[in-house]
Structure 1
Amino acid sequence: FDPRLILNVTLAVAKAAMDSGVATRPIHDFSSYREKLSQFVYRSGMIMKPVFEQAKRNPKTIVYAEGEDDRVLRAVQIVVDDGLAKPILIGRRETIETKIKTLGLRLEVDKDVEIVEIMRDYRLHSYADYYHRLMGRRGISPTAALSLVRTRASILAAIMVRRGEADAMICGTSGRYGRHLEQIEGVIGIREGQSVLAAMNLVIMEKDTLFMCDTYVNYDPTAEQLAAITLMAAEEVRRFGIKPKVALLCHSNFGNRDNASSFKMRRVRELVLEKCPDMEIEGEMHSDAALSEQLRNNIFPNSRLRGSANLLIMPNLDSANIAYNLVKMTADGLPVGPLLLGAAKPAHILSPSATVRAVVNVSAVAVIDAQIHAGEAE
Structure 2
Amino acid sequence: DDQHGTAIVSAAAVYNGLKIVDKSLEDVKLVVSGAGAASIACVDLLVSMGLSKDNVILCDSKGVIYEGRKEGMNEWKEKYVVQTNARTLDDAMMDSDIFMGLSGPGVLSAEAVKTMAKDPLVLAMSNPVPEIMPELAQEARPDAILATGRSDYPNQVNNVLCFPFIFRGALDCGATRINDEMKQACVKAIAELATKEPTEEVTKAYAGQTLKFGRDYLIPKPFDPRLIEEVPVAVVKAAMESGVATRPIEDLEAYRRKLHSYVSSSRIFMQPVIEKALTVPDAKIAFAEGENEDVLLALQSVVDEGIAKPYVIGRPNVIEQKLDELSLRIEVGKDIEVVDPLDCDNHEEYWRYYHDKVGRSGVSVEAAQSTLRSNSTVLAAVMTALGEVNGVICGKVGRFDHHLRDITTVLSNKPRPMTSSVCAVLLQDGPLFIADPFVNVNPSEDQLVVATQDCLDFIRKFGLEPKVALLSHSNFGTYDDEGAHKMKVAADRLRGFNPDLEIDGEMHAISAFNEQLRSSIYQNNHLTGRANLLIMPNMDAASIALGLSRSITNANMIGPYLNGLDKAAHILIPSVSARGIFNMAALTVEDSLTQRGGVQQSLLA
TM-score range, shorter chain: over 0.9
Aligned twin of 1:147:
370
**1:321-360 matches, cutoff 5 A:** 321-360=543-582
Equivalent position amino acid for 1:365 in 2: L
| Cα pair distance change 1:101/1:279, threshold 3 Å | same
**1:197-236 matches, cutoff 5 A:** 197-236=419-458
Separation in 1, partners of 2:406, 2:344 = 21
SS at match of 1:372: coil
Equivalent position amino acid for 2:262 in 1: F
Separation in 1, partners of 2:467, 2:446 = 19
SS at match of 2:333: coil
SS at match of 2:479: coil
Separation in 2, partners of 1:4, 1:78 = 14
**1:260-271 matches, cutoff 5 A:** 260-271=482-493
SS at match of 1:156: helix
The superposition leaves residues 194-217 of structure 1 with CA deviations (integer Å, 9 ceiling, x where unpaired) of 940001111112221011111100
Contact 2:397 2:574 in 1 (8 A): yes
Separation in 2, partners of 1:114, 1:216 = 30
Equivalent position amino acid for 1:65 in 2: A
Equivalent position amino acid for 2:375 in 1: R
The superposition leaves residues 220-258 of structure 1 with CA deviations (integer Å, 9 ceiling, x where unpaired) of 011111011000111111111111110000111111111
| Cα pair distance change 1:34/1:126, threshold 3 Å | closer
Separation in 2, partners of 1:19, 1:272 = 54
SS at match of 2:585: helix
Aligned twin of 1:167:
390
| Cα pair distance change 1:255/1:169, threshold 3 Å | same
| Cα pair distance change 1:9/1:195, threshold 3 Å | closer
Matched, 1:188 2:411: yes
| Cα pair distance change 1:259/1:23, threshold 3 Å | farther
Separation in 2, partners of 1:221, 1:338 = 17
| Cα pair distance change 1:183/1:206, threshold 3 Å | same
Equivalent position amino acid for 1:294 in 2: Q
Aligned twin of 1:67:
290
Aligned twin of 1:106:
329
Matched, 1:240 2:456: no
What is the Cα-based RMSD across aligned positions, in Å?
Answer: 2.2
Aligned twin of 1:10:
231
Equivalent position amino acid for 1:14 in 2: V
Matched, 1:46 2:268: yes
Equivalent position amino acid for 1:5 in 2: R
How many Å apart are 1:123 and its aligned residue? 3.4
Equivalent position amino acid for 1:150 in 2: R
Contact 1:51 1:364 in 2 (8 A): yes
Contact 1:190 1:196 in 2 (8 A): no
Contact 1:249 1:313 in 2 (8 A): yes
Matched, 1:85 2:302: no
Separation in 1, partners of 2:241, 2:406 = 59
When normalised by structure 1's length, the TM-score is: 0.93
Separation in 2, partners of 1:15, 1:264 = 58
SS at match of 1:218: coil
Separation in 2, partners of 1:292, 1:370 = 37
SS at match of 1:44: helix
Separation in 2, partners of 1:211, 1:123 = 44
| Cα pair distance change 1:264/1:10, threshold 3 Å | same
2:515 counterpart (284, 290, 293): 293
| Cα pair distance change 1:191/1:326, threshold 3 Å | farther
How many residue pairs are counted as aligned between the two chains?
A: 373
Separation in 2, partners of 1:183, 1:148 = 10
Aligned twin of 1:253:
475
Separation in 2, partners of 1:189, 1:302 = 41
| Cα pair distance change 1:53/1:297, threshold 3 Å | same
Structure number with the bigger relative contact order (C-alpha 8 A, sep ≥ 6) is 1
Q: Give percent identity, aligned residues only.
A: 39
| Cα pair distance change 1:121/1:225, threshold 3 Å | closer
Aligned twin of 2:35:
none
Larger radius of gyration: 2
Contact 2:240 2:248 in 1 (8 A): no
Equivalent position amino acid for 1:156 in 2: L
Contact 2:286 2:313 in 1 (8 A): yes
Matched, 1:280 2:537: no
Gaps of 5+ in 2: 1-197, 200-223, 597-605
How many Å apart are 1:129 and its aligned residue? 2.7
Contact 2:491 2:504 in 1 (8 A): yes
1:97 counterpart (320, 327, 331): 320
Contact 1:224 1:271 in 2 (8 A): no
SS at match of 2:310: strand
Matched, 1:364 2:569: no
Contact 2:424 2:557 in 1 (8 A): yes
The superposition leaves residues 27-72 of structure 1 with CA deviations (integer Å, 9 ceiling, x where unpaired) of 6454554344222201012211100010011142110001111111
Gaps of 5+ in 1: none
Separation in 2, partners of 1:239, 1:24 = 37
Equivalent position amino acid for 2:335 in 1: D
Separation in 2, partners of 1:81, 1:228 = 37
SS at match of 2:510: helix
Contact 2:431 2:532 in 1 (8 A): yes
| Cα pair distance change 1:350/1:173, threshold 3 Å | same
The superposition leaves residues 151-194 of structure 1 with CA deviations (integer Å, 9 ceiling, x where unpaired) of 110000111111111110000000000000000111111679x9
Matched, 1:118 2:371: no
| Cα pair distance change 1:195/1:117, threshold 3 Å | closer
